[in-house]
Structure formats: structure tokens, C-alpha cells
Structure 1
Amino acid sequence: MNRRIRGAFLLAVSAAAVTLTPFSAAPAVAASPFKAPVVTFEGTGPGTVTATLHNPNDRGQCWAEAGVGPNNDHVFFGEAKPESLAQPGQTIKTSLTGLQPGSTITARGGCADTSPAGGYELGETVTVAVPSGKPATGSFGS
């Protein structure tokens, strides 16, 4: 008799679990498409190029990078310090300094998806002129 009660109880619990499972599961949510950053590059002073970088995603981090010199050496704007990385929805400015005035660099932005899906998106590579003139002083007649 004790076995019948246990059997009936287990059957009832099993039936309840099967019935409730579809209602207790969270609906699957598709992740939004991961995109490359929106980035512009501008020569802002002798030997300096500044990137204005926007992370259009709801996850991940974005950066700006460049190919510099005759060997197209790979460098990151802002020395890849945390403050040079755009967080989700954030727009930042970050610079490369110490460049050869009057030269050109190739530059682009990229975003890394830090979610379990992973991956990255890179923007278009552009050529940027490095300014060579003296910086403006903001004074007149001097």
C-alpha cells in the first residue's frame, strides 16, 4: 500500500513537471546583430591624429588602430588603455601622438563582442594625413 502511494505521488509530480515546464522556460531572445564601430579620424595637431569612436552595440568594446611608418607597424590609439575603448553605446575621442609630421597612416576601428557568442567586426581602412604645421595658439597678431 505504501508503494502505491509513492508511485501515485511520483506520477502526479512527474505530470505536473511536464505540464509546467513549457510555461516556466524563458523565451529565447535573439541577440541584436553585432556591428563595426562608427569612427572618424582627423589630424588634430603636428604628429597627432584623433579618432572619434562610437560603439553602436549593446555589448562589447570598440577601439581604433593604425598602421604606421614604412613597415605599417600596428598600433592602437590611446595605447589601448581602458579609457581608449568605447563601451556599449558610448562615444569617445582617443589619439595617436608622436607620429611623423607630414606622413600618412592607415586607420580603422574594430569592435569585439564580449558575450559568449564572441567574434569581432572591423571597419573600413582609411588613409589619414598626419599634420605637420605648428599648432594654432589662439592669439591674434603674434
Structure 2
Amino acid sequence: MNRRINGAILLAASAAAVAFAPVTAGAATPFNAPEVTFAGTGTGTVTATLHNTNDRGQCWAEAGVGPENNHVFFGGSRPESLANPGQTIKTSLEGLEPGTTITARGGCVNGAEFELSETVTVTVPAAKPATGSFGG
């Protein structure tokens, strides 16, 4: 009987050691803000080139527009305006007031993970005079 108790105690001690052993998990891949650049690409149009460097989540570009800094998303929040993991996209804001400025940034989200890029100021291109030659 003594043997049986010792075996049970040994089994319980082994189980406890396994339960309390330190767990070493692989380091999680960091979650980052997107790589994003903004450029005036036409009269009243600003285009964002957005790269999601993450292995998860989706990224977007957003801006503050007008005197009240109204919040808008590039590409009208359409699915094609979101960069999936490893993807680079171009998406635009059109119909902006030529010659004004907007504040713009990118962001990425994956559940509770959320990262924003730095905010930059972008000048909206104004109308350019037509070029060409006049008859003669």
C-alpha cells in the first residue's frame, strides 16, 4: 500500500511540475502602422500610396478636410481602398478644394491591435493653366 501512495504522490508532483513550468512562447510579430505617402495627383485630388507591412490586419488612409477638419477616408472606405497583409495599394480623395491643405495619415487594425502613422499636411493641387500653342 505504501508503494501505491508514493506512486500517486509522484504522479501528482510530476503533474504539478508540468502545470507550473514556465512557458516560453515565440515572440509575437510586432504590429505596425502602414508605410504611407501622400501626393497631389491632379486638380483637387490627393492620392495615398499605402503599404501594409504586417502579416495580419488591414490598413487605410484618412484625412482631415476643410476648415472643420472633417474626417474622411481615402477611396470612400470601399474594400479596394484597404491594404491587406503585405499589400500595397493606391487610393485617392477627389473633389477637394484646390489650393487648400488637408491633414492625412494611415492606420492599421487587427482586432485590438491598432497603429496610426504620423499626420502630415498635404497641399491639394490647384488648377493649372492649359498649355498648347495658339494658331497663326
Q: TM-score range by the shorter chain?
A: 0.7 to 0.9
Whichever residue aligns with residue 60 of structure 2, its letter is W
Q: C-alpha separation between the residues in 1 aligned to 2:89 and 2:29?
A: 22
- Looking at structure 1, the residues matched to 61 and 68 of structure 2 have their Cα atoms a distance apart, in angstroms, of 19
TM-score when scaled to structure 1? 0.74
Q: Name the Cα RMSD after superposition.
A: 3.0
Q: Which amino acid in the other structure matches residue 85 of structure 2?
A: P
Distance 1:29 1:69 in 2: 46
- The answer to whether the Cα contact below 8 Å between 1:45 and 1:135 also exists between their aligned partners in 2 is no
Question: Aligned residue for 1:8?
Answer: none
Say yes or no: does 1:96 pair with 2:93: yes
Aligned residues: 124
- Structure 2: 5+ residue runs without aligned partners? 1-7
Q: Distance in 1 between matches of 2:61 and 2:48?
A: 7
Task: Find 2:67's aligned residue among 70, 93, 104.
Answer: 70
Among all aligned residue pairs of Structure 1 and Structure 2, give the percentage whose two residues are the same amino acid: 70
How do 1:13-92 and structure 2 match up within 5 A? 28-92=25-89
1:120 aligns with 2:120: no
- SS of 2:76 mapped into structure 1: helix
In structure 2, what is the Cα distance between the partners aligned to 1:75 and 1:124? Answer: 16
CA distance in 2, matches of 1:120, 1:87: 14
Q: 1:28 to 1:68 in 2, by over 3 A?
A: same
Amino acid at match of 1:120: F
| Alpha-carbon distance between aligned partners in 1 of 2:125 and 2:43, rounded to the nearest angstrom | 5
- Alpha-carbon distance in structure 2 between the residues aligned to 1:66 and 1:28: 39
Distance 2:129 2:91 in 1: 18
Residues 58-85 of structure 1: CA deviation (Å, up to 9, x unaligned) = 1010000000000000000001111000
Q: Residues 135 and 28 (structure 1 numbering): CA distance in 2 closer, same or farther, change over 3 Å?
A: farther
Deviation at 1:135, TM superposition (A): 8.7
Residue in structure 1 matched with residue 102 of structure 2 by the alignment: 105
Letter in 2 for 1:108: R
